[in-house]
């Protein structure tokens, strides 16, 4: 299968200055990954592990205090390969976003301008990519897309506050994919929604994927139980790094990394069993990314930590077909 986006050893840090103090927060610290055509990749981890920063890096949406320190971000477009890190923001904004990659950011639910009708919001957004497009053309595009995704066409003439939370989120998905971007990146799209509404939103993502409106989807969330319903592959992040990258069924049935095991166990074990057996998944806290522990960043919380784990960082290696893990347990055989 053909790659769509390729990150190589990407480092993106926040530079924080508080009075005389300077801190560097290493939110994305040496991440390599490939997104292929026709897959849905879930990126999971606790809050503060660098997931949202990684989403912004994939889009090359990098603004101070976030800085790209190193690495490359290759996008495979219909016209050839583009190294995003070599271009400035205005080029990326006018030529890449919306058309090649689109993003639904974490706050999208509330980001729609409350004083504008849906069609005006979309018109303004599309004009930033296609300056001379007419309102009638935009309305036609939205109408077709809403129809295709089973959204009520009448919503085009409504204000965002007139729509329910779930409908607003589905409208955001329809709008973000209006120009058929090859890749859609979404950050916590279902977190603020109840279970029934979550299902409708997940269905809309499946629809834009199955109808090939988009080629691939990257779904960022702390909620592995939700993303497993839709993902074909799961990438687990911990403390700014990828610790495991596996097909969804493999990682659910047999997680390789001790952190993946804890994360999956804590979500998918029935509550009574947890109580009865007194299981405690992943005690402790994720580290401060301005001062991460040496060696494996998970070692202070890992029940299997060995001497080498405290000294040396484990590389991400392939251990089975399509399965990658970063853990010394898999290097010593």
Residue numbers at the binding site for Mg ion (CB under 5 A): 52
- Partner that binds at residue 256, options ligand SF4, Mg ion, none, CB closer than 5 to 8 Å by kind: none
Minimum distance from CB of 70 to ligand SF4 (Å)? Answer: 23
d(CA 100, CA 39): 16
- Partner that binds at residue 69, options ligand SF4, Mg ion, none, CB closer than 5 to 8 Å by kind: none
- Partner that binds at residue 258, options ligand SF4, Mg ion, none, CB closer than 5 to 8 Å by kind: ligand SF4
Minimum distance from CB of 51 to ligand SF4 (Å)? Answer: 19
Looking up tokens 């089973």, which residue turns up? 150
d(CA 188, CA 304): 31
E-state strands within 157-278: 183-187, 216-221, 233-238, 241-247
Q: Which residues contact 277 (CB under 8 A, 6 or more apart)?
A: none
Q: How far is CA 262 from the centre of its chain?
A: 21
Minimum distance from CB of 106 to Mg ion (Å)? Answer: 5
The answer to whether 91 contacts ligand SF4 (rule: CB under 6 A) is no
Token output for 104 = 């639904």
- Partner that binds at residue 219, options ligand SF4, Mg ion, none, CB closer than 5 to 8 Å by kind: none
Nearer of residues 105 and 258 to Mg ion, judged by Cβ:
105
- Partner that binds at residue 52, options Mg ion, ligand SF4, none, CB closer than 5 to 8 Å by kind: Mg ion
Minimum distance from CB of 306 to Mg ion (Å)? Answer: 32
Minimum distance from CB of 200 to Mg ion (Å)? Answer: 22
Give the total of residues touching ligand SF4 (CB under 6 A). 14
The answer to whether 282 contacts ligand SF4 (rule: CB under 6 A) is no
**Residue 14: beta bridge partners?**
25, 66
Helix locations, 36-88, DSSP H: 51-58
Nearer of residues 215 and 257 to ligand SF4, judged by Cβ:
257
DSSP string covering 123-175: HHHHHTTSTT--HHHHHHHHHHHHHHTT--GGGGGS-GGGS-HHHHHHHHHHH
Minimum distance from CB of 305 to ligand SF4 (Å)? Answer: 4
Please classify residue 216 by burial: count the beta carbons closer than 10 Å to its beta carbon, then call 0-12 exposed, 13-18 middle and 19+ buried.
buried
Strands ordered across the beta sheet of 317-320: 101-104, 183-187, 216-221, 40-44, 233-238, 241-247, 323-325, 317-320
Judged by CB under 6 A, the chain residues 289 through 328 that form the site for ligand SF4 are: 296, 298-299, 302, 304-306, 309, 314, 327-328
The answer to whether 123 contacts ligand SF4 (rule: CB under 6 A) is no
DSSP 192: T
- Pick the binder of ligand SF4 from 30, 45, 48, 258 (CB under 6 A): 258
Of 81, 79, 35, nearest to 57 by C-alpha is 35
Minimum distance from CB of 47 to Mg ion (Å)? Answer: 6
DSSP string covering 93-114: HHHTBTTTEEEE-TTHHHHS-T
Nearer of residues 105 and 314 to ligand SF4, judged by Cβ:
314
Nearer of residues 242 and 296 to ligand SF4, judged by Cβ:
296
- Partner that binds at residue 309, options ligand SF4, Mg ion, none, CB closer than 5 to 8 Å by kind: ligand SF4
- Helices (H) and strands (E) counted in the chain, each on its own, are 12, 12
Report the interface residues with ligand SF4, using CB under 6 A: 257-258, 296, 298-299, 302, 304-306, 309, 314, 327-329
């Amino acid at each position: 299968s053909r790659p769509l986006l390729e990150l190589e050893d990407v480092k993106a840090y926040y530079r924080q200055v508080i009075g005389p103090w300077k801190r560097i927060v290493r939110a994305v610290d040496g991440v390599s990954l490939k997104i292929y055509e026709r897959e849905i990749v879930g990126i999971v981890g606790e809050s503060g592990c660098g997931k949202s920063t990684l989403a912004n890096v994939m889009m090359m949406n990098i603004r101070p205090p976030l800085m790209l320190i190193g690495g490359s971000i290759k996008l495979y477009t219909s016209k050839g390969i583009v190294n995003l890190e070599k271009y400035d923001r205005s080029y990326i904004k006018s030529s890449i976003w919306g058309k090649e990659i689109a993003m639904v950011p974490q706050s999208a639910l509330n980001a729609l301008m409350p004083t504008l009708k849906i069609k005006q919001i979309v018109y303004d957004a599309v004009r930033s990519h296609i300056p001379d497009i007419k309102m009638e053309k935009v309305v036609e595009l939205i109408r077709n897309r809403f129809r295709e995704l089973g959204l009520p066409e009448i919503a085009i003439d409504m204000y965002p506050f007139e729509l329910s939370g779930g409908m607003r989120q589905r409208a955001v998905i329809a709008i973000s994919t209006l120009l058929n971007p090859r890749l859609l990146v979404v950050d916590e799209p279902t977190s603020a929604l109840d279970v029934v509404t979550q299902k409708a939103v997940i269905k809309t993502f499946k629809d834009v994927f199955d109808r090939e409106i988009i080629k691939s989807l990257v779904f960022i969330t702390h909620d592995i139980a939700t993303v497993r319903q839709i993902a074909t592959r799961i990438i687990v992040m911990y403390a700014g790094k990828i610790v495991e990258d596996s097909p969804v069924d493999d990682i659910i049935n047999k997680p390789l990394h001790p952190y993946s095991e804890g994360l999956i166990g804590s979500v998918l074990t029935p509550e009574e069993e947890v109580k009865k057996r007194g299981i405690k998944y992943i005690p402790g806290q994720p580290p401060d990314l301005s001062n991460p522990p040496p060696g494996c960043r998970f070692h202070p919380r890992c029940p299997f930590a060995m001497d080498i784990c405290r000294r040396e960082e484990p590389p991400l290696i392939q251990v089975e077909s399509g399965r990658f893990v970063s853990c010394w347990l898999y290097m010593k055989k």
